[in-house]
Amino acid sequence: MNRALPVLTVLLGILAIWYAAAVWMNATWVFDQAERAGTTVTWAEAIPQTMAQERPLLPPPHQVGAELWKGLFGQAVTSKRSLVYHGYVTFKGTMMGFGLGIVAGVLLAMAIVRFRVMDMGLMPWAIISQTIPIVALAPMIITLSSQLGLTARDVPKAIIAAYLSFFPVLVSMVKGLRSPDQMQLDLLKTYGAGEMATFLKLRLPASMPYFFASLKVAVAASLVGTIVGELPTGAIEGLGARMLIGSQFGEPLIMWAALFAAAILAGLLIVVVGVVERLAARRMGVRA
Amino acid sequence: MKDTISQNQPVIEAKGLNLVFQTADGPVQALKDVNLTVAKGDFVSFIGPSGCGKTTFLRAIAALEHPTSGTLTVNGMSPDEARRKRAYGYVFQAAGLYPWRTIRGNIKLPLEIMGFSKADQEERVQRVLELVELKGFGKKFPWQLSGGMQQRASIARALAFDADILLMDEPFGALDEIVRDRLNEEVLKLWARTGKTIGFVTHSIPEAVYLSTKIVVMSPRPGRITDVIDSPLPKERPLDIRDSREFIEIAHRVREGLRAGHHED
């Protein structure tokens, strides 16, 4: 209860501001309509009308909630209108990109920690890669991969997602693999341990807390990457495509519902990563 | 006959040993003309102020540092060869147990690296845990143990692969006086039971005198040996031996040696 109270307070605050903003923004349309019809409306009459428009500038929470409910549970999950279906498409892309990002991040980190040349030659590029806006890069990756004959959208989407998610893994793993101190390295030396044993017995396990900390960031980045990958050039599946359709066809409710579906997906992914992290931590003897 | 030969052969022998570190501020002479012979079964303490090279010397024996000139042999071999023959176990100032391994797992670490069989590993873990009186703690993680127990576990880890030489670098420096006294007693018991040769770095005079058969007094800038004292104390040493006349006399000589070293700079 002690933890729920502050969260609920903030939530209530957000809802209040949201409703106020919805009234204020949607009222313009109500007053315009009235003026065109040559009638006048009072604020008391206008407010209920701001709550139930078909194309509101800012849909109030209950409308978004209803649309979200309809999208999630209103039809068969295989329907093209189902947010569960689109969410699954996005989830699949996110997981592929996440996996690819983890593999790339870990391998690059290993190379950087092992070879000084890689540290000097690769690390700056890794950092520069993250300064390029992904929205600018995404269409290029999609066109390039279709040029290469990869017609399936899964691959470019996964690449875009991996492009964003490898970085936090890389940075954390470099730090983690370097975390053992001199004494621990000396200890292994006195056993005559080789490089392989040092890596497997010391560096790798020592890096695990860093690894898991980076996964939460990486999974969120991967989801963003996937959604961005779903935006350009006529995608029809996935939450990103749903958002774009909503915005292009002037259906704010669809857009907002897709947005919240993406937020729920992000939340679920982070919870799952958190559970995996805790299980791993318990196995590695971390104090509860 | 063969036995007496190996008895007489020095376990550690340093002749005219020099070790220079290249630092950003120029070369630093960490060890200068160090000569020392340690016989099998000796308990040697290295004592001196920081910077006197006592830890550097211990690390050189363990092939963690390499002398610039002079000779250093361990069991008649170079320190690197001696390492390959598993001649020594090393105990650092911090227990340095892996937090992600249980005590059992930590003791197994050197055994895994050296390729002991699974059954042999288990048997050795049990034996050394008993030796350091940690029986029943094998399944605990390091954080569940006190600092003194952690250091005992790290000694067990160094003993697990049956090295003849145990090198200890201020192993109890971070522990409080009472725990330290107890562990000192236990180390002596361990030494008596196993007959190992022990090299022990400390900066506590009572600790050095209480434990050692040979006390090596060192002084800094450059790091060198100023006195080597062969202790006349009997092998059997109850804690209250520290109030005896002989003990106080040796402690006095060590203190004088340390002070003399300090006057010179």
**Mean pLDDT of all residues in A12-35:** 91
Fold of A83-283: MetI-like fold (1.10.3720)
Tens of pLDDT, residues A176-197: 999 999 999 999 999 988 899 9
Contact state of B113 with A192 under an 8 Å Cβ cutoff: yes
Which range scores top for mean pLDDT: A175-179, A240-244, A276-280?
A175-179
Give the pLDDT score at A74.
83
Binary contact (A187, B90; C-beta < 8 A): yes
Q: Which percentage of chain A shows pLDDT scores above 70?
A: 98
Extents of the domains making up chain B: 2-87+165-239, 96-162
Q: What is the ipTM of this complex?
A: 0.85
Q: What percent of chain A has pLDDT over 90?
A: 48
Which of B66, B112, B113, B124 is the best mutation test for A, with the most CBs of A within 10 A?
A: B113
Task: Specify the fold of B2-87+165-239.
Answer: Rossmann fold (3.40.50)
| Cα–Cα distance for residue pair A107/A118, rounded to 1 Å | 12
A281 touches chain B (CB under 8 A): no
Q: How many Cβ contacts (< 8 angstroms) between chains A and B?
A: 54
Share of chain B above pLDDT 70, in %: 95
Cβ–Cβ below 8 Å for A201 and B88: no
pLDDT digits (tens, 9 = 90+) for A207-240: 999 999 999 999 999 999 999 988 875 667 889 9
- B156 contacts in A (CB within 8 Å)? none
Domain ranges of chain A: 4-55, 83-283
If you average pLDDT over residues A109-126, what whole number do you get? 89
Spans of chain B below 70 pLDDT:
1-8, 262-265
User: What is the per-residue pLDDT for B111?
Assistant: 94
Kindly state whether A190 is in contact with chain B, defined as any CB-CB distance less than 8 angstroms: yes
Let me know: does B87 contact B165? Beta carbons within 8 Å.
yes
Nearest CB among A183, A193, A284 relative to B113 is that of: A193
Among B96, B99, B114, the residue with its CB nearest the CB of A187 is: B96
**Chain B touched by A287 (CB under 8 Å):** yes
- A268 contacts chain B (CB < 8 A): no
A202 has a chain B CB within 8 A of its CB: yes
Q: Which residues of B touch A286 (CB under 8 A)?
A: 99-100
